[in-house]
Structures are given as structure tokens and as C-alpha cells.
Structure 1
Amino acid sequence: MNQKPAAAYARAVVVHTAGDLRVEQRPLRAAAPDEAVVRIAYGGISGSDLHYWSHGAAGDSILRAPMVLGHEVVGTVWSAAEDGSGPSAGTPVAVHPASPGGTGARYPADRPNLSPGCTYLGSAATWPHTDGAFADYAILPARMLRTLPPDLPLRTAALIEPASVAWHAVARAGDVRGARALVIGSGPIGALVIAALKRAGASEITAVDLHQRPLEIARRVGATSTIDARGTDAVAAVEADVTIESSGSTKGLASAIRGTMRGGRVVLLGLIPSGDQPVPISLAITRELELLGSFRFNDEIDEVIAALADGTLDASAVITHEYPARDALDAFATAKDSAASGKVLLHF
């Protein structure tokens, strides 16, 4: 039997403008017939959440009104969709935060992540903005929900969304069995890329970062060697078969190009700032490198859930901090300090 939310309001983490993050009560709207009410257990703070808080924008997505943050969420179905779609009440679930759609620009039908009208939870890319799910209760389309195995802890399951982003990037890299891999940027996404590369059979994985804490985490999840990027040119000597750039910086992309062998492949995962960027493209040309973009994910989320549940994707070391939702501001400050933290979770 379906349950109704415990109150007409839900506590939520809301960004109002740059630097203005609040934990406040927000009214719960009525659920549509194809929507479920999910009681959120954990939410992971992502790079885009930090950008909205720090800068009032994430890339070209400009914050124009207060918005509930959060798309890396897991919880339990509190009230199932009235039309019978989706999981029943009491089911632990992960959330696929994308809603593909829109008309206009062409894209491959089997890659809905590229659809021009795709919306994402906790995103200001469209107007009105799409509220996220950093809240005690979230009303979500039943199609977004993925049933979790009963033996997968919700805390571990909080990594499913970012791990799916990493999994998609590794899939874009092609068959990496026996390959020498290079990962530029060892923050939470980079660390999850390393874990996914290890599971996919890469024989050597070199992790690069500016700080020791991320490199320590990288070693724990599967890096066979690490490079401190401060004041060193050791990256160029790696000569990787495949490189995944996850730092989101032009210097990181330049290192990725220099660290990849002739005829190799570079996957661009980190979101480089918009606009023209100074990178050594001539080197990519003369080495005949393949440069491939990687954006979000599609149905990889189902494979990630299975891999986390059976233990073949070991990513627990990526989680370094957990805060109660009432202390969201402290949690965001910790997550912003990449030298001291990995994935920071909010516990609702």
C-alpha cells in the first residue's frame, strides 16, 4: 500500500545565487500518475553542484532562480506511481537523473544523452530550471528509478551516478584489456574511472593529480603508478594507449595529449570551460591521436549497479566524508577542497 509523504513540506538543499546555499523547507507538489515519491537516503556532491554554489553557473548553465541541487541520489520508494509503473513502495532505488528529449539538432537515436532537449536533475541548463533531489523526499518520474539489489548498501549505492559517468568514458575508450592507461585528474570522477579501467582489464593505470590525497585514493582503487603533476614533465613519458582526461582543465588536456602514444586515443571527460582553449592540437594531428568526447551516460547505470553489487567494481575508497543534510554548507566546503576530500555525501 502506498504511503504519503510525512509532511506537505520537505527539507531541501537550495542554491539561491553564487555563494548563497541554504537548507530550507520547500512545499511538496502533488505527484503525477507516473511519478513516485522517493525518500532520499544519500546524495553525493558533484562538480556541477559546487559550481552552482561557487559561481552561480556550471559551464553555460546560468542560475536564474533558486534551485534544489543534487542528482547523485539514492533512497527508498515511499509512495509508488499510481499508474503502476516503476518499483513498489519500500523498494531501494538509484536514480537515473536524465530526461532525454527535444527537437532541433540531429543526434544518434541510440545515444539519448546527446539529445538537444535533455534535462538533468539539479541543472540550470533550461528554463524553468530542473530541480534536483537533495531533499528528504523527491517526486520523480518512475522511469528514472532503478531497483537496487537488497545486499547493496545505500551508502555505496550513492556512487552509482558518478560511476556511470566514469563507466561511459571507459566504454568510449574502447577495449582496454591489457592496455596502458593514463588518467589526468584523480578527483572522485577520475578515481571512479580508474576503478572502471581496472575492472575492464587495463594492465597499467597511471593516475595524475596536483594533490597527494587524490593520488592515495587512486592507488587504493587500482592505479599501478601515480604522478604528482606539480613541477614535473613525467606525464609525457607515459606513452599511454588510452588517456582519459578528467581534470576539466586546459592544462590537463595538454598533458593528456602529450602523455598519449602515437596513434592512441584521448577521451575528454572533464568539462573544459566554454569558449576557445589553447591546447597543443598540432601534436594531436602529427601523432594521429583520436580525441573523443564523453558526456554523462545512458543505460550503463544498470551495468554499474550489477558491478557494485557483485564487488567487481570496488569504489568504496572514493567516499571520504559524510555529513547530515542540515550541515550542507560544511559538506560543500569540504567537497570544494580537492586536496583533502574525495566524494562527499549528504545523509538525509
Structure 2
Amino acid sequence: MPACVIHGPGDLRVEERAAPTPGPGEVLVAVRYGGICGSDLHYWRHGGVGDFRLREPLVPGHEVVGAASSGPLAGAAVAVHPATPCGVCPECADGRRQVCRDTRYLGSAARTPHVQGGFAAEIAVPADQVRPLPQGLPLRRAVLAEPLSVALHAVRRAGAVSGRRVLVTGAGPIGSLVVAAAKAAGAAHVTVTDLLPAALGYARAAGADVVVRADDPADPGWPSETDPAVDVAVEASGTAAGLECCLRLVRRGGVVVQLGMLPPGKSPFPGNLLVSREIELRGAFRFDTEFDDALRLLAAEPAFDALVSAVVPVREAESAFTLAADRSRSCKVLLDFGG
């Protein structure tokens, strides 16, 4: 079967690998679509994401949908929840399985041996990670369930957003989905910043009320720094500049959620603002039960289709990764495994 394998920075290959045999408690899934995520791009371009570095060849991919080939759901269209928490660590016991200290996550180099991912024609996964798709939800839209879950979790980390004004820095696929998640949670007004007009267009399609060029301080869409109208800010660009923007524009006593993975090492930020304005800075990492909520939301809202910008055959994986890395031309790029 074909599988995408990253051997190091810039070294992506489509290789033939033996199809897996499901073990006890596992289900075989024939993958149809795989969404290329920012972390997949980091592994390909830089050999790592954040503090997670490649130490061996890795099959990337954690946004996958297809058909169950075994088990009680055999023949059904399914999505795969990519996380396998340990269930016994203090974090799991505290109901925070998304930060489990011993989790396994598809396509991740966070542990060695790495957890091989979903960019293969067939994968074997624990049965309790396989979800049947809600009626009427097409596979092509369902592949957004994983990144939408990330966005839903970030919005929940912010607390109540109903009736609030929200700022999102970064209009990539995750940032655009944060817009949709915030709107679904009742946000009254969402402003999005980014450097690229194309990315801002996707954010607008996701429901943003105002989009702002991050490199244009004269843009009238900017909230006022002296009298901020922003109650909650979600930093989705993964840059120190984005975090500084959030801290400067959120109101006194407001909440900033750091969602984007910052570069490895130290990142400067105006920490005194946390003190003088009593701003709450919270991290958001992955998700847990939000996956099922994401599937329901996707089934109810066809407008999400606008965020899928291209579908590329798996044999052309390198061109798909190149396209996904060019945010001036794409939002969410899917690999098509056929079948």
C-alpha cells in the first residue's frame, strides 16, 4: 500500500509498505482523505514541530477519514480520533486527557519510537477511536473534524464567549476554524488578523466579522489599544508577534489563549501587561471530547466546505505539501488515497 514517509527536513517520500494487521481491540480503516496540518508541514520542512524532533522516519498525518474494514462498523464511513491517552496518569484522572503525559498521537514525534500516522492507504487503530460519521456528512468535509476539535477546545479554554468580542491572530486553517468555533459558541463579534489577503478571505468565509492586515497599522479594523473592545483573544499564528498583539489588544481582565505552537526555545512577550492589566494567559493543546462535537457541527454546516481548497492524489504528495505550505494559494489541502 502507498504511505507518505518523512525521512528528514525536505525529504518526503511515497513508499510501498505492507498493509497492517489489526491487533486485539483494533480496527482496520481504509483511508480515503488525509488533511495536511501545520505540524505535518513542520516535520517536512524543519524536521520537527515545537520541541518534538524527528529521530526516525515518520508517517505523518492525524486528520484522516475513510471506511472501517473490520469490526462492528465494517463498511461504514468513519473518522479517526488521533489520540490514545494512557488513562492512568494524574492528568487523565483529572479529566484533562488532552495533556496526558503518556499519550500516543497519530503522526507524532513526541515519543520514541514515534507514533506512525494516518497518511497510508490502511491504518490499524484502537476501536474506541473510530467514529461513524453523522448522517449526511460527506468524507471530504468530515476530514476537518480534527482541526475543528482543536479550535473548539481553544474556545472552551477561553471560558464563556457568548456575547463577547473575540480577536484571532492568524487565519490559517486552525485560525479560520477558531472563528467558526467562536461563532458557534455565541461570540458577538470576531476580528481576525493575518499577513495574507487569501488567508483573510478564508477567515471571512468561516464567519469573521472584520479581517485586518497584520502589517497595516492604519487598517481601520484594528481594535483600539487604548480602549480595547476585545474580551478574548486566541493566538493561532504561533508567533511571538501574534502573542504580543493579543496581549496589547485584549481588555483589562481579559483572556488570551495561546493555541499556535511557538518556535522552540524562548519566546519574548510583554509579560508586564499580564500584571498591570490582570490578563489571564492560557494554553490550549489538542482536544478530547470535542471530536464528537466537531462531527456534529460539520454535519450541520455545509459552509465548512469552503475551507477545503484542494484535493491531491497521494502519489503527488510532495506537490500537495508544497501547496499546503503556500498560504497565499491554499487553506486546507487533502491527500486522496482513492478507493
**1:275 aligns to 2:260 (yes or no):** no
Q: Following the alignment from structure 2 to structure 1, what is the Cα–Cα distance between the partners of residues 93 and 167?
A: 29
Residue in 1 aligned with 2:317?
328
Find runs of 4+ consecutive structure 1 residues off by over 4 angstroms.
102-108
Residue of 262, 273, 277 corresponding to 1:287: 277
Q: Percent identity?
A: 47
Provide the secondary structure at the position in 1 that maps to 2:310: strand
Q: Following the alignment from structure 2 to structure 1, what is the Cα–Cα distance between the partners of residues 335 and 248?
A: 38
Residue in 2 aligned with 1:7?
none
Residue in 2 aligned with 1:84?
none
Q: Following the alignment from structure 1 to structure 2, what is the Cα–Cα distance between the partners of residues 256 and 155?
A: 33
CA contact (8 A) 2:33 2:336 kept: yes
**1:162 aligns to 2:153 (yes or no):** no
**1:192 aligns to 2:164 (yes or no):** no
Q: Following the alignment from structure 1 to structure 2, what is the Cα–Cα distance between the partners of residues 110 and 281?
A: 29
The one-letter amino acid paired with 2:309 is T
- Structure 1 residue 36: Cα displacement: 1.0
Provide the secondary structure at the position in 2 that maps to 1:196: helix
The one-letter amino acid paired with 1:269 is L
Residue of 62, 65, 68 corresponding to 1:74: 65
Residue of 242, 246, 264 corresponding to 1:256: 246
CA contact (8 A) 1:235 1:255 kept: no
The one-letter amino acid paired with 1:300 is E
**1:33-53 deviation per Cα after TM superposition (whole angstroms, max 9, x unaligned):** 211110101100001100110
Residue in 2 aligned with 1:149?
134
Residue in 2 aligned with 1:83?
none
**1:56 aligns to 2:41 (yes or no):** no
**1:97-150 deviation per Cα after TM superposition (whole angstroms, max 9, x unaligned):** 011128777665201111111121001111111000111111111111011123
**1:170-214 deviation per Cα after TM superposition (whole angstroms, max 9, x unaligned):** 111111111111000010000000011111111110010000001
Q: Following the alignment from structure 1 to structure 2, what is the Cα–Cα distance between the partners of residues 224 and 104?
A: 42
- Structure 1 residue 68: Cα displacement: 0.8
CA contact (8 A) 1:121 1:132 kept: yes
Residue of 326, 334, 337 corresponding to 2:326: 337
Farther off after superposition, 29-38 or 288-297: 29-38
CA contact (8 A) 1:236 1:258 kept: no
Distance 1:160 1:107, change over 3 A: closer
Residue of 86, 92, 105 corresponding to 1:101: 86
CA contact (8 A) 2:21 2:28 kept: no
Distance 1:347 1:106, change over 3 A: closer
RMSD: 1.6
CA contact (8 A) 2:86 2:92 kept: no
Which sections of structure 2, spanning at least 5 residues, go unmatched? none
Distance 1:228 1:108, change over 3 A: farther
Q: Following the alignment from structure 1 to structure 2, what is the Cα–Cα distance between the partners of residues 280 and 108?
A: 35
Q: Following the alignment from structure 2 to structure 1, what is the Cα–Cα distance between the partners of residues 145 and 90?
A: 29
CA contact (8 A) 2:85 2:92 kept: no
Residue in 2 aligned with 1:47?
38
The one-letter amino acid paired with 2:153 is H
Q: Following the alignment from structure 1 to structure 2, what is the Cα–Cα distance between the partners of residues 157 and 179?
A: 28
1:229-240 alignment, distance < 5 Å: 229-232=214-217, 234=222, 236-237=224-225, 238-240=228-230
- Structure 1 residue 259: Cα displacement: 1.3
CA contact (8 A) 1:103 1:117 kept: no
* TM-score between the two structures when normalised by the length of structure 2: 0.94
Q: Following the alignment from structure 2 to structure 1, what is the Cα–Cα distance between the partners of residues 196 and 291?
A: 29
Residue in 2 aligned with 1:4?
none
Q: Following the alignment from structure 1 to structure 2, what is the Cα–Cα distance between the partners of residues 146 and 268?
A: 28
**1:54-111 deviation per Cα after TM superposition (whole angstroms, max 9, x unaligned):** 011111111111111100000100122xxxxxx4210111111011128777665201
CA contact (8 A) 1:235 1:258 kept: no
Provide the secondary structure at the position in 1 that maps to 2:41: helix
CA contact (8 A) 1:122 1:130 kept: yes
- Structure 1 residue 161: Cα displacement: 0.3
Provide the secondary structure at the position in 1 that maps to 2:201: helix
1:220-231 alignment, distance < 5 Å: 220-231=205-216
**1:247 aligns to 2:240 (yes or no):** no
Aligned length: 332
* TM-score between the two structures when normalised by the length of structure 1: 0.92
Distance 1:276 1:299, change over 3 A: same
Provide the secondary structure at the position in 1 that maps to 2:180: helix
Residue in 1 aligned with 2:26?
35
Farther off after superposition, 89-98 or 25-34: 25-34
CA contact (8 A) 2:192 2:210 kept: yes
CA contact (8 A) 2:232 2:256 kept: yes
**1:199-245 deviation per Cα after TM superposition (whole angstroms, max 9, x unaligned):** 11111100100000011111111111011011427355453100000
